[in-house]
């Protein structure tokens, strides 16, 4: 029964030891845990960077909101009187035209600051973290995000397959 056949390619090799197979499985498990730890560290770094970006963007948005308020109110109150007097006395414009020019100038600065504040508020949505969570099947974008092993870009996929929801005023909202 212990005969070896010459045409059998495994006949000269000793059978694998069960202990060695268990060690190989243990080694593979440890390597898998190390990779999972590395992925967790990378996700933690992404989350920290996203929170930092959101915090910075929120501060900038608040600062620019303050600029919009300052130019909308103090420019109207402080500079308007001087400009109206100049336009009326030096250029001979009627008071109504002088008031309109001041209002348009202050309104333009207010609109610019509000537009930039809206841009920075968009960074507070933590989009990169939400896309990565969606790849793992977590969150409202999970249905449209590619699978974790896919080489497809989560940003491109999510942006192509979703349109931002808007409230009655037309402002973008983030679903819960």
Indicate yes or no: pTM above 0.85.
no
The most confident of the ranges 80-84, 95-99, 136-140, 166-170 is: 95-99
Bridge partners of 128?
Answer: none
Task: Identify whether 152 is part of a domain.
Answer: no
Structure tokens at 71: 């130019």
Task: Write the DSSP assignment of 100-144 as a string of letters.
Answer: HHHHHHHHHHHHHHHHHHHHHHGGGG-HHHHHHHHHTT-STTTTT
Decide which of 23 and 74 is more confident. Answer: 23
CB atoms within 10 A of CB 98: 19
- As a whole number of angstroms, the distance between CA 35 and CA 137 comes to 20
Task: Identify whether 134 is part of a domain.
Answer: no
Decide which of 51 and 172 is more confident. Answer: 51
Spatial CA neighbour of 146 closest among 155, 36, 40: 155
Task: Identify whether 65 is part of a domain.
Answer: yes
- As a whole number of angstroms, the distance between CA 127 and CA 164 comes to 12
Task: Identify whether 109 is part of a domain.
Answer: yes
For residue 145, the model assigns a pLDDT of 72
- As a whole number of angstroms, the distance between CA 75 and CA 14 comes to 90
Task: Identify whether 86 is part of a domain.
Answer: yes
For residue 176, the model assigns a pLDDT of 37
Please state the domain count of the chain: 1
Task: Identify whether 151 is part of a domain.
Answer: no
CB atoms within 10 A of CB 85: 12
Q: Which range of residues forms the domain containing residue 48?
A: 18-125
Percent of all residues in the chain with a pLDDT value above 90, rounded to a whole number: 12
For residue 94, the model assigns a pLDDT of 92
For residue 175, the model assigns a pLDDT of 47
Residue 152's Cβ-side half-sphere holds a number of Cα atoms within 13 Å equal to 14
pLDDT per residue as tens digits for the range 136-156: 777 766 676 777 777 777 777
Spatial CA neighbour of 72 closest among 111, 106, 117, 98: 106
Decide which of 6 and 109 is more confident. Answer: 109
Task: Identify whether 2 is part of a domain.
Answer: no
pLDDT per residue as tens digits for the range 100-125: 988 898 889 889 999 999 888 877 77
Task: Identify whether 95 is part of a domain.
Answer: yes
For residue 90, the model assigns a pLDDT of 92
């Amino acid at each position: 029964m212990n005969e070896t056949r010459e045409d059998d390619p495994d006949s000269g090799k000793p059978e694998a030891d069960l202990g060695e197979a268990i060690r190989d499985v243990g080694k593979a498990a440890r390597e898998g845990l190390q990779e999972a730890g590395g992925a967790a560290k990378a996700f933690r770094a992404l989350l920290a960077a996203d929170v930092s970006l959101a915090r910075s963007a929120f501060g900038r948005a608040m600062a620019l909101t303050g600029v919009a308020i300052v130019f909308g109110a103090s420019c109207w109150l402080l500079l308007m009187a001087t400009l109206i007097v100049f336009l009326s006395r030096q250029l001979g414009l009627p008071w109504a035209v002088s008031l309109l020019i001041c209002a348009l100038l202050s309104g333009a600065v207010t609109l610019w600051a509000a537009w930039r504040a809206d841009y920075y508020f968009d960074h507070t949505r933590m989009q990169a973290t939400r896309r990565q969570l969606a790849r793992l099947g977590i969150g409202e974008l999970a249905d449209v995000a590619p699978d974790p092993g896919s080489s497809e870009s989560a940003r491109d996929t999510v942006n192509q397959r979703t349109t931002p929801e808007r409230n009655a005023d037309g402002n973008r909202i983030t679903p819960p």
